[in-house]
Amino acid sequence: AVSILALIGLVLVWVHWLPHDYVVASDGTQQETYDAADWMNKNLPQGARVGSFSAGLLGYFGQTYTVINLDGLANSPQFVNSELIGHLLYVNDLAPTDPLRDYLRRENITYLANVDPLERVNQKEYLGLVDAGQAVLLYEGDYAIFWGPGEPEQRMVVVQIP
């Protein structure tokens, strides 16, 4: 009897881990990312390199492009210590240059995908990585995302960078 229950338990665990259709959360946040990934698969050139501070779902659903994580969570400690910390110092006016900008050039990253207020795309440095007016808006999501009280409406955007 114990072995039968153990076998049933193993089968249930195995069934749970089988590939299945992705179910999107109802709040719209994941839908924004999924829609952007779908758009990038259809519209970016084969092999395009996309940088993102929210790389998870974009990378999971990416078929024709490569996503490079920029937030440090899936990068090496060296990346965090050099590029990411240097970038944070730069955007807070504590460093004269931005090593993350150099990283984008070195890694041939020519697109950025991120959840951000639309007014930030060309009114000032986009994500602190692209000079004002240099990011070309290619995709704007349909769903408004609100990160909290007092925060502006945001959408998933994909931009091309020089």
Give the tens place of pLDDT for each residue, 59-106.
Answer: 999 999 999 888 766 667 787 778 888 888 888 889 898 888 899 999
Q: Are 37 and 56 in contact (CB under 8 A)?
A: no
CA distance 6 to 88: 51
Q: Which of 58, 83, 80 is nearest to 68 (CA)?
A: 58
Give pTM, 2 decimals: 0.77
